[in-house]
Structure 1
Amino acid sequence: MPGPVTERLASGPPLLFDGALGSRLIALGLEAGRPPEAWVLDRPEVIEQVHREYAAAGSEVLASVTFGANRLRLRKAGLEERLEEINLRAVDLARRAAGDDAWVGGDMGPTGEFFQPLGPLTPAAADDVFAEQAAVLARAGVDFFLLETHYDLQEALANVRACRRVAPQIPVAATLTFNRTPRGFFTVMGDPAAEALTALFQAGCFLVGANCTLEAAGMLDLARHLTAHLNLPLLLQPNAGSPVVTPAGIVYPQPPDEFCRLVAAMIPLGVRAVGGCCGTDAEYLRRLREMLQ
């Protein structure tokens, strides 16, 4: 096993995360509307294949296929009773691919519900949902918790608190997803980027940042904004362009060279960790690794 991920982040070249899981699995045949977590049970060999693709490309962090493996999301897919099995198996699949060369991030996404009064979710319910999943991921042996694609700072903070309460010895990284507006970068709930990431860092995260929604040029602009206002360890993972609907499905049109050039431009600004989100695959990460070296 490599040493603690927190030590690696503090020294050496930028830490390279992996790329998309959902869009990659769709490209390999995951049916529309079916959660990726279902393939942890039904097609584990494909999940492991994707992890191995990223590991071979040079990714130092592999995210488990557990983004939607909390009780509320699994309930909608009819998989609620297999929560423990899915989380344990998913981490094992990532660990097999990681071997002694990469860290496994226990991926946790939002519940899919809004907090009251916009939706049914209460702080206590969110805490229960996140704590339940975090406890299983901790038992599975993740190297750190990777909280991704949160669109509500309050829900992200609830996730951080649950992870730290359940397993205070396991580091936490957290990314929000931001939209560009005429006034700057905000979550859909109106959380401003710099202030929101500061709150996550103050809550105990060792790494904070953004993923999804923005394509690479937009994420580079976000990087410029953040590094002008903050001195925090940042993780940025853009999409491979804006999605285009075609007869064959959703396509992310940005080619690897253009994507990697824009992501590499984030490093001189002080960004400490990068990777890819929707539309990226191992080829993007391989070329990004070459540029970073």
Structure 2
Amino acid sequence: MRVATKTEAEASCGGLILLDGAMGTELAERGFELRPPLFSARALLDAPELVEQIHWDYLCAGAQVLTTNSFGLHAASLAAAGIGERQAELVRRSVQLIERVRARALAEQPAEPGPSSARFRIAGSIPPRVRAGERALGRAEYRAYANALITSGVDLLLLETFTNVDDARVALEGLVGVELPVWLSVVAGGTARSDGARLLGGDSFEDLAQLLRSETHRVPDALLINCTQIDAIPAALDAMIQASADVGLPLGLRPHLGRRRYDGVWIDRIVEPEVFAGQIQAWMRTRPQLIIAGACCGSRPDYIAATQRALMPSEAAREQAFVRLAELVP
């Protein structure tokens, strides 16, 4: 692969927004045991300082959006853990840990990460419900989840890792009237994981694009692909771009880095940080609709740091990115 020169990279990547990477992967790497039903969200109870440090490390790596560790806080998951009444408390804690990172960044000026990094945004993570069920109940649960995040002070809501259109529709129906930006992130890969032209649940991207054109629910303000096998990303990007061409939403990607080996063994990372960053840069350079990038399962802060070096090779490029972020998430 030809590597772009600094001048080419600055010209083609100005104003791109960098998200963070995986939380669960990093918790496990640092010795925290991920157990059902809460998985990474259990660290809010048992290891909040570790969660805060991981957020800090992603900020120092260059992330401009930090995602709350609230992925496991659906009512059903909490009920299964015997703490069903603690959703609002734990959502608030997930936001407070990131706010402590902001305070630390401001307190350490002019040391790294410096004042510009403290301008990051907080994305409130909302995953699909654990079990599909009655639609009115689903809408109410998504709204309660969103209200807890909004009350706690997030800057945007991130509906992430949705595998089919119907679940996304129910979530968006529950967010009618929400004024904060709402980003929708879906998993591509078809039933075989390698077919990027469809969502993991089998729906087409054209089916998904209908959600971007309807006024019966909260229309998302950005559309992303996440938790998608990296070799399925090109087909997924092209399908997403083609299906949403008439809508004009900001688009983005957060690939996961693992896959099953020939003998069935799961490999967490099939590419190294610089290779990953170069691939992200190439995809975004050839698809100008893409302005948001990050990483998903298998990633660590060094992947985000490498991606920042590729997408934002100068202080001017980083400032452009913060300007673009302020436009999308005031």
**Deviation (angstroms), 1:257:** 1.6
Change in Cα spacing, 1:193 to 1:214, as seen in structure 2 (3 Å) is farther
2:192 is aligned with 1:177:
no
Identity, % of aligned pairs? Answer: 26
Match of 2:270, SS state, is coil
Equivalent residue letter for 1:173: W
Contact 2:188 2:197 in 1 (8 A): yes
Q: Which moved more, 1:194-203 or 1:51-60?
A: 194-203
**Deviation (angstroms), 1:12:** 4.9
Structure 2 counterpart of 1:51:
55
Structure 1 counterpart of 2:73:
69
Contact 1:54 1:282 in 2 (8 A): yes
| TM-score for both structures, normalised by structure 2 | 0.76
**Deviation (angstroms), 1:210:** 1.0
2:45 is aligned with 1:28:
no
2:102 is aligned with 1:92:
no
**Deviation (angstroms), 1:195:** 3.3
2:239 is aligned with 1:225:
yes
Contact 2:198 2:204 in 1 (8 A): yes
Q: Which moved more, 1:124-133 or 1:90-99?
A: 90-99
**Deviation (angstroms), 1:63:** 0.4
1:118-150 deviation digits (Å, cap 9, x = unpaired): xxx111111121111111111001100001001
**What is the CA–CA distance in structure 1 between the aligned matches of 2:196 and 2:266, rounded to whole Å?**
31
Number of aligned positions between the proteins: 273
Change in Cα spacing, 1:135 to 1:244, as seen in structure 2 (3 Å) is farther
Structure 1 counterpart of 2:127:
109
Match of 2:271, SS state, is coil
Change in Cα spacing, 1:24 to 1:83, as seen in structure 2 (3 Å) is same
**Deviation (angstroms), 1:244:** 5.7
1:218-249 deviation digits (Å, cap 9, x = unpaired): 21332233334433311210011325699x98
1:191-222 deviation digits (Å, cap 9, x = unpaired): 1124314524654211112100322x321332
Change in Cα spacing, 1:169 to 1:40, as seen in structure 2 (3 Å) is same
Contact 1:220 1:263 in 2 (8 A): no
2:284 is aligned with 1:267:
yes
> Quick check: which has more Rg, 1 or 2?
2
**What is the CA–CA distance in structure 2 between the aligned matches of 1:245 and 1:108, rounded to whole Å?**
34
**What is the CA–CA distance in structure 2 between the aligned matches of 1:183 and 1:53, rounded to whole Å?**
33
Change in Cα spacing, 1:171 to 1:192, as seen in structure 2 (3 Å) is same
**What is the CA–CA distance in structure 1 between the aligned matches of 2:182 and 2:24, rounded to whole Å?**
22
Contact 1:145 1:163 in 2 (8 A): no
**What is the CA–CA distance in structure 2 between the aligned matches of 1:188 and 1:122, rounded to whole Å?**
22
Contact 2:188 2:232 in 1 (8 A): no
Structure 1 counterpart of 2:172:
160
Match of 1:266, SS state, is helix
**What is the CA–CA distance in structure 2 between the aligned matches of 1:97 and 1:85, rounded to whole Å?**
19
**What is the CA–CA distance in structure 2 between the aligned matches of 1:184 and 1:255, rounded to whole Å?**
22
1:210 to 225, 231, 238: 225
Higher relative contact order (CA closer than 8 Å, sequence separation 6+): 2
**What is the CA–CA distance in structure 2 between the aligned matches of 1:23 and 1:281, rounded to whole Å?**
7
Structure 2 counterpart of 1:288:
307
* RMSD, matched Cα: 2.5
| TM-score for both structures, normalised by structure 1 | 0.85
Contact 2:195 2:232 in 1 (8 A): no
Structure 2 counterpart of 1:8:
none
Change in Cα spacing, 1:89 to 1:243, as seen in structure 2 (3 Å) is farther
**Deviation (angstroms), 1:284:** 0.3
Q: Which moved more, 1:126-135 or 1:183-192?
A: 183-192
Contact 1:243 1:253 in 2 (8 A): no
Gap regions ≥5 residues in structure 2? 1-12, 104-117, 313-330
Structure 2 counterpart of 1:37:
41
Change in Cα spacing, 1:238 to 1:193, as seen in structure 2 (3 Å) is same
2:126 is aligned with 1:124:
no
2:155 to 135, 138, 143: 143
Equivalent residue letter for 2:56: R
**What is the CA–CA distance in structure 2 between the aligned matches of 1:159 and 1:83, rounded to whole Å?**
17
After TM superposition, which residue ranges in structure 1, 4 or more long, deviate above 6 angstroms? none
Structure 1 counterpart of 2:15:
13
Q: Which moved more, 1:173-182 or 1:153-162?
A: 173-182
Structure 2 counterpart of 1:5:
none
**What is the CA–CA distance in structure 1 between the aligned matches of 2:31 and 2:209, rounded to whole Å?**
35
Match of 1:106, SS state, is strand
